[in-house]
Amino acid sequence: MADTDLRTHALGTLVTAMVTPFTDAGEVDYNQAAELANKLVDDGCDGLVVTGTTGETSTLTDQENVGMFRAVKEAVGDRAAIIAGTGTNDTAHSVQLSQKAAALGVDGLLLVTPYYNKPSQAGLYAHFNTVASAVDVPVMLYDIPGRSSIEIAPDTMIRLAQHPNIIAVKDAKADFVSAARVMAETDLAFYSGDDGLTLPWMALGAVGLVGVTTHVATRRFRDLIDAVNANDFDLARKINAELLPVVRATMTRVQGAVAAKQILKWQGVLPNSIVRLPLVEPDETEITIIREDLAEAGLVFP
């Protein structure tokens, strides 16, 4: 059963979907990943997703995925929940990667809706149920029809909630009516999967955010979540308004991993902004757009 205390949760409340740092030669930089993970936790994250979408999991090998799980878990220890992105569009592959992550002692798994295949709801149920049954680790479902082309329907979520390992949902669908029904009929803990919707999601009953902008403004997002949990909605609305241009800079103008790495480079957190093909670093036009949005939030970099 999911933890129903909205102020705390086994998988965290402020969860950053970490980028995967690369060396100048394009190899995974595990040392930089460990440093970034520690910084995020120091700044207020109580959970980290490792090699999710923003972690460029689709262009990592299984060895690199497992290496990232190990590096971040060893760096952070028990200071934050480590959630391994192990979902793919191949059930057997997802099981194998999930079992490898579980063997490293991760605190949870993030399982994205299978993409490209377009399974039926019966197929979705069978996929998630099979993976969750293959491990003894809490599972967070990731509902993102914009990338997967299909949703996890409310009835399917309600069925899946009966599985003892399935305890949470990262929602990037923003169907608040459907989510309210699932929340009412299950103990699933919901997380905003859209940085800019954190406040309305939490007002509805979500426990927090799995975000990307949280790389850039970690402490301010911590303040936002804490304000909601303290029922100080005047402060929460003020912080939310301050964060909107940062969300635009990181999430809506340029692909999330690309923008986040560029900003982290400007902040001196990462030594480069390298991404893997088919992603490419931002061009001059995109750089200008990101800078303009950040400047609106008072963030100016050389």
Could you list the active site residues? 142, 170
Q: Backbone phi, then psi, for 268, in 5-degree steps?
A: 80, 15
Could you give the CA distance from residue 172 to residue 143 in angstroms, rounded to a whole number? 6
Residue 124: partners with Cβ closer than 8 Å, 6 or more residues away: 113, 114, 150, 152, 156
83 near 35, Cβ under 8 Å? no
271 near 265, Cβ under 8 Å? yes
Rounded to the nearest 10 degrees, how much is the dihedral formed by the CA atoms of 260, 264, 269, 275? Answer: 60
Q: Is the peptide bond before 278 cis (omega within 30 degrees of 0)?
A: yes
β-strand partners of 191: 170, 208
For residue 110, is it left (φ>0), alpha (ψ between -120 and 50) or beta? beta
Could you give the CA distance from residue 149 to residue 133 in angstroms, rounded to a whole number? 25
